[in-house]
Amino acid sequence: MKRDFTRREFIKISGMGLGGLAASGSLLKFASDVLGSGNASPHKVLRTPTYCEMCTFKCAGWAYRLDGKPWKIIGNENDQHCYGHLCTKGSAGFGAYDDPDRLKTPLIRMQERGKQVFKEVSWDEAFNYIASKLKKIAKEHGPECVALLTHGTGGSFFKTFLQGYGSDNIAAPSYANCRGPREEAYLLTFGDAISTPERTDMRNSKCIVLIGSHIGENTHSSQVYEFGQAVQRGATIITVDPRFSVAASKSKYWLPIKPGTDVALLLAWINVIVEEELYDKEYIKRYAIGFDELRKAVKDDTPEWAYSITTIKPEIIRETAREMARYLPATLIHPGRHVVWYGDDTQRVRAGAVLNALLGSWGRKGGFFMPVEPDIPEYPRPQFPKPKRSWRDAFPGKYELANLALSSGICEATIPSVSRDCNFKGWIVYGTNLLHALPDRKKTIEAIQNLELLVVVDILPSEISGWADVVLPECTYLERYDDLRTEWGRESQIALRMPAFKPKYNTKPAWWIAKQLANKMGLGQYFSWKNIEEYLDYRLKKAGSSLREMQEIGVKVLKRETPLYLAKGEEVKFDTPSGKIELYSQTLKDYGFDPVPRYAPHEEPPKGYYRLLYGRSPSHSFGRTTNNPLLTQMDPENEIWINTDVSKEWGLKDGQYLRLENQDGVVSNRVKVKVTERIRTDCVYMVHGFGHDQKKMKRSYMKGASDTGLITRTKVDPIMGGVGMRANFVTFSV
């Protein structure tokens, strides 16, 4: 197949030189200048609104066709997820559309699971197969024994399907394996979550503290954009990271902390701010409870104490604490995003939340703004049946502070055990490659082997699809409508995704798949709309717009009725049990946890081993883009970062290949060595999303190594079940 872009053309469009951020609006002008406008032009330029699905941040943009062919995708300037700037991956959306390895037609498994022997079937055959299995499971075990594992927009239609069927067991790895502890920590402290996009007011911050968050490599557009604005304004950036990240390179202070010891640093900062009385006294007095208990708890957590644990010098800890206080309340301790590190993650993030409270940054300019979101009624449908059981029943007395279902919990509860009266029998998997997203692959495969039905809805023959009984090929986001984007932010906004192209091959959008399957199951009443246009138009009219208007504008900004920040001296009731910001959490105490975060040491790497750290490439989203024809040209494989001294000790050279072996004897694929001063000597680092072992994804097959494969050990957060994945150590096998 002929591709539509050359590499050079793509790099130009995606603006790689700008730290992963793409240029945008000006290209539009370029288009009309070069091509002429009006009837005289020999070329036809058409644009349709979309929001991006290259990751799940949903930046709104425009997909351009030139003479009917893919041309470029750029950001929508009214969009608060991206401010008109898509990241490199977002600009490469046509690569997903054009990938010749895409799933092309529904498949049913013919031989044992994992052998990948499938027959091509019609949609109707696939639906008949799934419907008969689902009916059997409902009859024999109850509909609650089916779970939906989902990540991505179209998943919402399968949620409706599953709830109509009678199960509420809906989980996303982006909770237990990503940001769950963050949401729970902020709920416990301030009574509200951080969510997506983050309510961080970085564009106005005077001081930003990044604990691990590697913004710039993590390229969520508005986060990078606002961070960039802060850097340009000369805000103080303090980055805590064992690795000299891109963010660290923009920072006034880089604190190369010993991995796993951040709680000690955070407590020492709290100690300095409390003991030197640098906190926002009026704010704390008015809004917070538990200050005296906090002061008592951190009394001995001095910078000198923290030095021996973190390796960060006491004078630097004091200096950075004073710097934070100097700019309060416009100081932001960034809450992080992928926070499942060491199993004490809710407490670590809570220590940051407590620090934010002391600095008075919640609800204040330069700290955290008060987000708003559109309130659009659902399309009318009957009440869902009330499930008799939930995933929680599989874990009596555990993870009671989790507010969402745990993907890892569902996986565990699928493996038969005498202590459970029901195990999961069916999974519907939408847009999540569980063999890369969940650690401990052996366990994931064991769970899968105990299923009576595994349905995978994907665009690519991902590893998880290889284990499916039925594979349903979705069309890419550029070929479909989806539900409205209604995420919160500074403004209340609605964004529309509509097709730029007809679906290629025999692929279909999620809304169609879920609706057809519902009809087959006799659940059509939950999808009573005629087609997606009618569904969207109904909802949009309720919000004072219409499908027609949205097709023109892409993003609708609704009037904001409430202030962005707290007013001076405003009385506020926080949504916590006490109605105040809880520096001391009685809830945690009641559940048997530390009411004020405390430090506990983590296991050290054995001699000759290094802690395995992982993160993001600016030009890939997890493993979902590592087969993208445009992006693989830029970043074809990952590397293992090894400190220069360590490389000398082992006689390793930059650019050579080796294998990694973890503490349990698991050996990785071959991976290229990057010798660098930019990482400590006690750890190594790699980008997640490489090392695919799915032959059908030709460009990514066996390219680089998989961090997931090496993560056989986890540390589960006892508070909410988040799965800490940085508990693994590797050595080199040359």
Ligand X SMILES: Nc1nc2c(c(=O)[nH]1)N[C@H]1C(S)=C(S)[C@@H](COP(=O)(O)OP(=O)(O)OC[C@H]3O[C@@H](n4cnc5c(=O)[nH]c(N)nc54)[C@H](O)[C@@H]3O)O[C@H]1N2
- List residues binding ligand SF4 (CB under 6 A): 52, 54-55, 57-59, 82, 86-87, 89-90, 219-221, 621
Which position among 109, 133, 250, 688 is part of the footprint of ligand X (CB under 6 A)?
688
73 near Mo ion, rule: CB under 5 A: no
Q: How far is the CB of 333 from ligand X (least distance, A)?
A: 12
Residue 260 interacting entry, from Mo ion, ligand X, ligand SF4, none, C-beta within 5 to 8 Å by type = ligand X
The rounded distance, in Å, linking the Cα atoms of 189 and 580 is 8
361 near ligand X, rule: CB under 6 A: no
Number of shown-chain residues binding ligand X (CB under 6 A) = 63
Q: Which residues pair with 26 in a beta bridge?
A: none
The rounded distance, in Å, linking the Cα atoms of 723 and 338 is 11
Q: How far is the CB of 29 from ligand X (least distance, A)?
A: 28
Which position among 23, 257, 358, 536 is part of the footprint of ligand X (CB under 6 A)?
257
The rounded distance, in Å, linking the Cα atoms of 246 and 478 is 31
Q: Which is nearer to ligand SF4, 77 or 446 (CB)?
A: 77
509 near ligand X, rule: CB under 6 A: no
The rounded distance, in Å, linking the Cα atoms of 329 and 357 is 9
Among left, alpha and beta (phi > 0; psi -120 to 50; other), residue 608 is left
Contacts of 124 (CB under 8 A, 6+ apart): none
Q: Which is nearer to Mo ion, 178 or 238 (CB)?
A: 178
Q: Which is nearer to ligand X, 312 or 652 (CB)?
A: 312
The rounded distance, in Å, linking the Cα atoms of 135 and 426 is 11
Residue 99 interacting entry, from ligand X, ligand SF4, Mo ion, none, C-beta within 5 to 8 Å by type = none
Write out the binding residues for ligand X, residues 563-602 only, by CB under 6 A.
none
Distances, alpha carbon 384 to alpha carbons 121, 144, 168, 269, 452, in Å = 31, 13, 10, 49, 24
Residue 598 DSSP SS3: coil
Q: How far is the CB of 145 from ligand SF4 (least distance, A)?
A: 34
How many other C-beta atoms are found inside a 10 Å radius of the C-beta of residue 577? 13
Q: Which is nearer to Mo ion, 57 or 62 (CB)?
A: 57
Q: Which is nearer to ligand X, 243 or 364 (CB)?
A: 243
Which position among 354, 457, 521, 631 is part of the footprint of ligand X (CB under 6 A)?
457
The rounded distance, in Å, linking the Cα atoms of 260 and 513 is 44
Among left, alpha and beta (phi > 0; psi -120 to 50; other), residue 193 is beta
Q: How far is the CB of 179 from Mo ion (least distance, A)?
A: 6
Q: Which residues pair with 70 in a beta bridge?
A: 65
If we measure between CA atoms, which residue out of 146, 87, 701 comes closest to residue 469?
A: 146
- Measured torsion, CA atoms of residues 170, 175, 176, 177, in degrees rounded to the nearest 10: 120
Residue 59 interacting entry, from Mo ion, ligand SF4, ligand X, none, C-beta within 5 to 8 Å by type = ligand SF4
CB 470 within 8 A of CB 107: yes
Q: How many residues does the chain have?
A: 734
Q: How far is the CB of 384 from ligand X (least distance, A)?
A: 23
178 near Mo ion, rule: CB under 5 A: yes
Q: Which is nearer to ligand X, 195 or 528 (CB)?
A: 195
Among 26-34, 208-216, 311-319, 528-536, which window interacts with ligand X (CB under 6 A)?
Answer: 208-216
Q: How far is the CB of 193 from ligand X (least distance, A)?
A: 15
Distances, alpha carbon 509 to alpha carbons 68, 82, 106, 149, 161, in Å = 21, 25, 13, 18, 15
Closest residue by beta carbon to ligand SF4:
90
Q: How far is the CB of 10 from ligand SF4 (least distance, A)?
A: 14
How many other C-beta atoms are found inside a 10 Å radius of the C-beta of residue 657? 14
Q: Which is nearer to ligand X, 88 or 492 (CB)?
A: 88
Q: Which is nearer to ligand X, 257 or 325 (CB)?
A: 257
Residue 86 interacting entry, from ligand SF4, Mo ion, ligand X, none, C-beta within 5 to 8 Å by type = ligand SF4
Q: How far is the CB of 114 from ligand X (least distance, A)?
A: 16
Amino acid, single-letter form, for residue 257: I
Tokens 């900062």 belong to residue: 269
Q: What binding mask, one character per residue, do residues 695-714 give for ligand X by CB under 6 A, x or -?
A: ------------xx--x---
Q: What binding mask, one character per residue, do residues 318-347 give for Mo ion by CB under 5 A, x or -?
A: --------------------x---------
Backbone angles phi, psi at 22, to 5 degrees: -95, 145
Distances, alpha carbon 35 to alpha carbons 5, 27, 72, 386, 395, in Å = 18, 12, 14, 58, 62
Q: Which is nearer to ligand X, 331 or 433 (CB)?
A: 433
Number of shown-chain residues binding Mo ion (CB under 5 A) = 3
Which position among 81, 85, 133, 151 is part of the footprint of ligand X (CB under 6 A)?
151
The rounded distance, in Å, linking the Cα atoms of 485 and 5 is 29
Burial of 44-76, coded b for 16+ CB within 10 Å and e otherwise, reads: ebebbbbbbbbbbbbbbbbbbbeeeebbbbbbb
Residue 90 interacting entry, from ligand X, Mo ion, ligand SF4, none, C-beta within 5 to 8 Å by type = ligand SF4
Q: Which is nearer to ligand X, 164 or 623 (CB)?
A: 623
Residue 82 interacting entry, from Mo ion, ligand X, ligand SF4, none, C-beta within 5 to 8 Å by type = ligand SF4
Q: How far is the CB of 417 from ligand X (least distance, A)?
A: 24
Which position among 80, 163, 167, 174 is part of the footprint of ligand X (CB under 6 A)?
174
If we measure between CA atoms, which residue out of 676, 590, 688, 599 comes closest to residue 635?
A: 688
Q: Which is nearer to ligand X, 75 or 290 (CB)?
A: 75
Q: How far is the CB of 338 from Mo ion (least distance, A)?
A: 5
Concatenated DSSP letters of 128-187: HHHHHHHHHHHHHT-GGGEEEEE-STTHHHHHHHHHHHT---EE-HHIIIIIHHHHHHHH
Q: How far is the CB of 349 from Mo ion (least distance, A)?
A: 14
Residue 493 interacting entry, from ligand SF4, ligand X, Mo ion, none, C-beta within 5 to 8 Å by type = none
Q: How far is the CB of 218 from Mo ion (least distance, A)?
A: 9
Burial of 185-211, coded b for 16+ CB within 10 Å and e otherwise, reads: bbbbbbbbbbbbbbbbbbbbbbbbbbb
| Tokens (6 digits) for 90 | 């977002």
Which position among 279, 614, 690, 729 is part of the footprint of ligand X (CB under 6 A)?
614
Among 73-81, 174-182, 225-233, 580-588, which window interacts with Mo ion (CB under 5 A)?
Answer: 174-182
- Measured torsion, CA atoms of residues 645, 651, 655, 659, in degrees rounded to the nearest 10: -100
Q: How far is the CB of 221 from ligand SF4 (least distance, A)?
A: 4
Among 112-120, 433-441, 500-508, 525-533, which window interacts with ligand X (CB under 6 A)?
Answer: 433-441
Q: Which is nearer to ligand SF4, 337 or 715 (CB)?
A: 337
Contacts of 454 (CB under 8 A, 6+ apart): 113, 426, 427, 429, 448, 467, 468, 469, 470
307 near ligand X, rule: CB under 6 A: no
Relative orientation angle of helices 510-520 and 532-542, to the nearest 10 degrees: 110
If we measure between CA atoms, which residue out of 381, 296, 368 comes closest to residue 328?
A: 368
Q: Which is nearer to ligand X, 26 or 308 (CB)?
A: 308
Q: Which is nearer to ligand X, 363 or 691 (CB)?
A: 691
Contacts of 433 (CB under 8 A, 6+ apart): 458, 462, 463, 464, 622, 623, 624
175 near ligand X, rule: CB under 6 A: no
Distances, alpha carbon 476 to alpha carbons 23, 81, 242, 434, in Å = 23, 20, 37, 19
Which positions lie near Mo ion, rule CB under 5 A? 174, 178, 338
Which positions lie near ligand X, rule CB under 6 A? 53, 55, 151-152, 154, 173-174, 177-178, 211-214, 218-220, 240-243, 245, 257, 259-260, 262, 336-339, 341, 430-433, 436-437, 439, 457-460, 462, 474, 476-477, 613-618, 620-624, 685, 688, 707-708, 711, 725-726
